[in-house]
């Protein structure tokens, strides 16, 4: 399938961590005056921006639109764009790297702390600190970058909450380990937060990549060459991009049809399963319509072109798939509205919990004892400070 390459801008986008980020970036790009549509891929973090035919491409407008929602972009050469999107990424990059590092470490820490009850062992605590530090600074870096980009715009998202929760558990554990005032440390919880949320993002990225792969397969269905009838009656093989509406093209037996058109001469059967799903070929004769990327049978056809590029049935199918991929259901819109206030509310609750234990420790202890029978046994604390930090961090961890 071909597009007007002179009116397409290829860009790389940094700062996207989930499908919700991809939707926000797509909406921001679509809102730029002159942009007709956007084809964005979460992995590897790139997009093609299609401009209206009467508009000049303007990368500065795209940069401004993405910057306003907390992302950065840079224009890349078409050759590099297509090479990167074809090659894909290693399974040990991006969220896959987080799982590759965090998964085994989390399992080992769970076995040590829950299976072998080594939580109070000095060697186990040293092991936990070292590996939690590795996971925090390697696997957590993507969350920190996302949170920082949003913070610079005065916003917050789930990256903010994950960063605060993981950092609080990590720093609190270091304090408890050095001071000796904590029996239970939260290095395992630090690794667990980052690994499990990375697992969710990894699964989301896999689904998005599969959808993108389906789109690529659709776009590769249409042939890139066509046989056009010239003024002298001879047929010349040309690029599909050189076809115009009204041209006559020859479809030989077994050929794929390059563009939508009406049959002028000939009779054949055409396999339209890629459009309809029907496995049986459809009989075609003069006056009937044929569609680009469908497969001609045994007959020869002379077809007048009526649809090219974005005006073909195949292009419309691709546009519907892209729209479904980037649009949001009503429940997702509600979720976005909730998430915009969820993070500040959770942070506020954590602060209220923290100061509540400082200001009214006896009352908070009484509330804790009332709730305790409904929960598992809480780690023992030896000071008001330890109890205050423990419960406020618990609010952040549960919210993650």
Count of domains in the chain? 3
Is position 319 within any domain? no
Distance (Å, whole) CA 96 – CA 43: 12
Is position 87 within any domain? no
**Do 307 and 346 share a structural domain?**
no
Distance (Å, whole) CA 374 – CA 106: 27
Q: Name 368's Cβ contacts closer than 8 Å, sequence gap at least 6.
A: 378, 391
**Do 293 and 197 share a structural domain?**
no
Residues 182-194: tens digit of each pLDDT? 667 889 989 998 9
**Do 187 and 111 share a structural domain?**
yes
In the three-class reduction of DSSP (H, G, I as helix; E, B as strand; rest coil), residue 299 is classed as: coil
Is position 86 within any domain? no
**Do 346 and 278 share a structural domain?**
no
CATH code, domain carrying 18: 3.30.70.100
Residues 83-100: tens digit of each pLDDT? 555 555 555 567 888 899
Please state whether the predicted TM-score (pTM) of the whole model is above 0.85. Answer: no
Going by the DSSP 8-state scheme, the letter that residue 327 receives in this structure is: -
In the three-class reduction of DSSP (H, G, I as helix; E, B as strand; rest coil), residue 81 is classed as: helix
For residue 5, the model assigns a pLDDT of: 44
Domain that includes residue 234, residue range: 225-311
**Do 238 and 189 share a structural domain?**
no
Find, among 333, 329, 387, 336, the residue nearest to 362 by Cα.
Answer: 387
Token pair in block for residue 276 = 């309809």
The distance between the two most distant Cα atoms of the chain, rounded to a whole number of Å, is 99
Helix (H) or strand (E) holding 289: strand 289-290
Residue ranges in 180-271 assigned as alpha helix (H): 187-219
Is position 277 within any domain? yes
**Do 333 and 210 share a structural domain?**
yes
**Do 188 and 106 share a structural domain?**
yes
Predicted confidence pLDDT, tens digits, the chain (400 residues): 444 445 788 898 887 877 777 888 888 898 898 888 888 877 778 888 888 877 788 888 898 898 888 888 888 876 666 555 555 555 556 788 889 999 999 999 999 888 888 888 888 899 999 999 999 999 899 889 888 887 887 777 778 888 888 898 898 889 888 887 666 788 998 999 899 989 988 887 787 777 777 777 776 778 888 999 998 889 999 998 888 989 999 999 999 999 999 999 999 999 988 888 888 899 999 999 999 889 999 999 999 999 887 788 888 887 777 776 666 666 656 666 676 688 888 889 988 988 888 888 888 878 877 777 776 665 556 667 777 877 887 787 777 6
**Do 208 and 100 share a structural domain?**
yes
Distance (Å, whole) CA 314 – CA 303: 17
Is position 238 within any domain? yes
Is position 83 within any domain? no
**Do 155 and 302 share a structural domain?**
no
**Do 335 and 199 share a structural domain?**
yes
For residue 86, the model assigns a pLDDT of: 54
**Do 209 and 108 share a structural domain?**
yes
**Do 332 and 307 share a structural domain?**
no
Is position 386 within any domain? yes
């Amino acid at each position: 399938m071909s597009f007007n390459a002179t009116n397409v801008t290829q860009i790389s986008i940094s700062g996207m961590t989930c499908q919700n980020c991809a939707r926000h970036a797509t909406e921001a790009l679509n809102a730029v005056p002159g942009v007709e549509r956007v084809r964005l891929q979460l992995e590897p973090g790139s997009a093609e921006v299609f401009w209206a035919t009467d508009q000049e491409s303007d990368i500065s407008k795209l940069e401004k639109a993405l910057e306003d929602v907390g992302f950065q972009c840079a224009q890349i050469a078409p050759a590099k764009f297509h090479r990167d999107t074809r090659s894909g990424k290693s399974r040990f990059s991006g969220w896959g790297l987080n799982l590759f590092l965090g998964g085994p470490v989390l399992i080992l820490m769970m076995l040590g702390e829950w299976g072998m009850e080594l939580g109070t062992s000095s060697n186990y605590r040293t092991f936990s600190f070292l590996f939690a530090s590795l996971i925090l600074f390697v696997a957590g870096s993507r969350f920190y970058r996302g949170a920082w980009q949003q913070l610079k715009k005065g916003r917050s998202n789930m990256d903010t909450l994950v960063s605060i929760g993981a950092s609080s558990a990590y720093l609190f554990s270091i304090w408890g380990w050095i001071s000796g005032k904590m029996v239970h440390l939260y290095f395992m919880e630090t690794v667990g937060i980052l690994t499990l949320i990375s697992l969710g993002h990894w699964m989301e990225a896999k689904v998005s990549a599969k959808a993108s792969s389906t789109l690529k397969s659709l776009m590769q269905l249409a042939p890139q060459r066509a046989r056009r009838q010239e003024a002298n009656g001879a047929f010349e093989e040309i690029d599909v991009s050189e076809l115009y509406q009204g041209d006559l093209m020859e479809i030989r037996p077994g050929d794929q049809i390059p563009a939508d058109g009406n049959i002028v001469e000939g009779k054949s059967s055409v396999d339209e399963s890629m459009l309809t799903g029907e496995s049986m070929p459809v009989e075609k004769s003069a006056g009937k319509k044929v569609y680009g990327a469908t497969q001609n049978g045994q007959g020869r056809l002379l077809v007048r072109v009526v649809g090219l590029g974005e005006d073909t049935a195949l292009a419309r199918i691709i546009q519907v798939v892209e729209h479904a991929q980037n649009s949001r259901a009503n429940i997702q819109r509600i979720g976005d509205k909730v998430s915009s206030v969820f993070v500040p509310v959770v942070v506020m609750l954590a602060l209220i919990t923290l100061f509540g234990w400082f200001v009214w420790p006896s009352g908070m202890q009484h509330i804790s004892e009332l709730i305790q029978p409904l929960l598992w046994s809480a780690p023992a604390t030896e000071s008001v400070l330890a109890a205050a930090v423990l419960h406020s961090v618990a609010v952040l961890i549960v919210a993650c």
